[in-house]
Structure 1
């Protein structure tokens, strides 16, 4: 790459620490950042203008090396809480017995697959396991392209679906320095705050129709429409039931599949349903699963209609050395047991309503909040310069994220303009945790204003 070809902007990351700004760090933190850059290179990024260091965790809390406690309202990887004893015990027990891959006969993978499939509609008949959500979406798209014989993919304009070569190619939120595939088309997210329409379903379907036409015009055809049903990277937009159906009817008429990316919004996160897409009264062709599946242990996968898997399985084979290994299955089974046995979907709905009501009450006292939206324990707070114009205010949003970090409460931000606060607590959050968060949030608002 010549000097003229080099990107002029640093790779996009919302709420990222700039390693060039070390002058305000204490000597220990500065030495850590410099060592990290030397050993790991420039692609790894830290959160927050003042990076935070952790040495242990428990439940909904993280602790730094000085013993300071941080309320974690962001990390959904450990969805049922850090170091959950039931999950940890299952992992340790299985590790002491055996850890091996899926090409031997073993009950664990079948027992978990059976339990997991019970959470889906009867049309979803198979599961296939990977290590990460990126791998899951990669496999989903391979199958969609193989099944349809087409190449085109439609996603929303700020979507994130993974960091493999294929999935980064249809993840526009990675930024302009990360190229999209020529077979990718973008549609705007159904933005309930800014889009004025009487029928959001028809509005979205019209945009999808335009891109289907363009893909066919250019000989690509449509393989799949891929959507996170909460549109989390676009700004978190829960929708009324039925919004997706008009677009999906067009997708299927064009020979394409619907891939529901449940990596962020699945596993009871929405409170009302086990899976985010179920709020829309639709059944996907492929469902991709990831982050929360093993509560910190790397396990992910897809759930798929048998007719989609059949041709792929006939023509090729699938194998993943670590995907679906015996320890991964123990972790996933234990995590799902916690979600079901501790009624975390109901808890998510109950505590989520407390947090949403609290945030909306706070918004009545702070003009910088343009909108509060969410479902279950996934919320977005949109910061604006002016409520009348709805001008995005990324400066205030990132200031709030960093002020909350100083108060030892962890969240982040999302959307193209980085002006939507991303609040995504553990499913085990209770009313006391919610009250602590809301008190700290209003205190932070006053501090930055």
Structure 2
């Protein structure tokens, strides 16, 4: 069966909402560590997929899951000591008052539940998000995800523009924007109840570590709850256990997902015990497959690595190394780009404003460069994606077990792709268009 045949069959049999990366989709045969092998035997460095935070096909995860499948996998209406033990260990990695946890199956479900908890606790339904936020795919969280639904966000949702990345008054400016957004919500009859922020601000272009103490204080002064969406930034990704630690805040609620089970469906919401108690006394929440023994067994393996410090150490060391290597390649080029790094969450932004560059450095050109670099790196057999409100940023977030050798491979491939892009642009009077 040819690659084209497989792709055509997929398009016919799967729903129209399914999409693939890259102009020629990757057809997977196997995966291990940070490497994905396609059906033709080609090996790709996975520098994008942060779900298998410990790498693909981890023997310890497979063994833990196998043991639980042979023991029990009942829902949470029964008591399972292993699940209670895991919950205690997980909660112990958080500061007070984040003392209780409720499990779900996906980051979308976790964020959905967090919104319900916030609305119940505050009596308010107004939500503030960043202007290109992504928080999931259920109806409730799609309505607060402008990057997913564009102008289709809910009337109870207000977006805010992030200040300039490097501005020294970033926190105060963000807090001021939040006040303005809350006022707009009040005017529409949807009083502000929650500010939800991806702690790495991934969909808006990846933020570097900075204090958001003023912003968090402002959220509470306005009567809302601060929800830290740790679905992408959690489990050591930013160089601390949880991304919000890099922001010098303690959230009111925290949501977890993606890497939590290293590929198995498990997620969670953490918060104060009284918030869950008050909610549970008036509303039911039960999820048949959430917090059952099999996904929790996988989650235990990830948590053990987090507790050991291995993930945060690798995120810090590997992230710093990758940044240095990428900057070196960019410095060789005439194409402007900035590297933003938050642990092993790295963004290469091709929109460099305030330089002496000509009009060719428009947002449109920067987005074209980022999109083209994704494809060029795919040709180098390196998997990345793009992000940012205008798609101008390369998004690099490999499994946290990536080796130094693989980081060097990534950077050298980036350099070769950048060289090819530079040559291509120099042969055209206008770089934007077909033929990338």
Q: TM-score range by the shorter chain?
A: over 0.9
2:380 matched to 1:407? yes
Aligned to 2:173: 203
Aligned to 2:410: 437
SS at match of 1:76: coil
Question: How far is the alpha carbon of 1:385 from its aligned partner?
Answer: 7.9
Question: How far is the alpha carbon of 1:169 from its aligned partner?
Answer: 0.3
Question: How far is the alpha carbon of 1:342 from its aligned partner?
Answer: 6.7
- 1:176-215 alignment, distance < 5 Å: 176=150, 179-192=152-165, 197-215=167-185
- 1:37-436 alignment, distance < 5 Å: 37-176=11-150, 179-192=152-165, 197-240=167-210, 242=211, 244-271=212-239, 273-341=240-308, 343-384=310-351, 387-388=355-356, 391-392=362-363, 393-436=366-409
Question: How far is the alpha carbon of 1:202 from its aligned partner?
Answer: 1.1
Distance 1:300 1:316 in 2: 20
Q: Is the 8 A contact 1:372 1:382 kept in 2?
A: yes
Unpaired segments of 5 or more residues in structure 1? 1-26
RMSD over equivalenced CA pairs, Å: 1.6
Q: Is the 8 A contact 2:209 2:342 kept in 1?
A: no
Which moved further from structure 2: 342-351 or 111-120?
Answer: 342-351
Q: Is the 8 A contact 1:262 1:275 kept in 2?
A: yes
Question: How far is the alpha carbon of 1:286 from its aligned partner?
Answer: 0.5
Distance 2:180 2:349 in 1: 29
SS at match of 2:2: helix
Unpaired segments of 5 or more residues in structure 2? 423-436
Distance 1:442 1:184 in 2: 41
How many residue pairs get matched? 416
SS at match of 2:40: coil
Distance 1:367 1:220 in 2: 49
1:241-289 CA-to-partner distances (Å, cap 9, x unmatched) read x2x2212222111211000000001100011x11000112211111000
TM-score if structure 2 supplies the norm length? 0.92
Question: How far is the alpha carbon of 1:443 from its aligned partner?
Answer: 0.7
TM-score if structure 1 supplies the norm length? 0.90
Q: Is the 8 A contact 2:111 2:229 kept in 1?
A: yes
Distance 2:276 2:377 in 1: 46
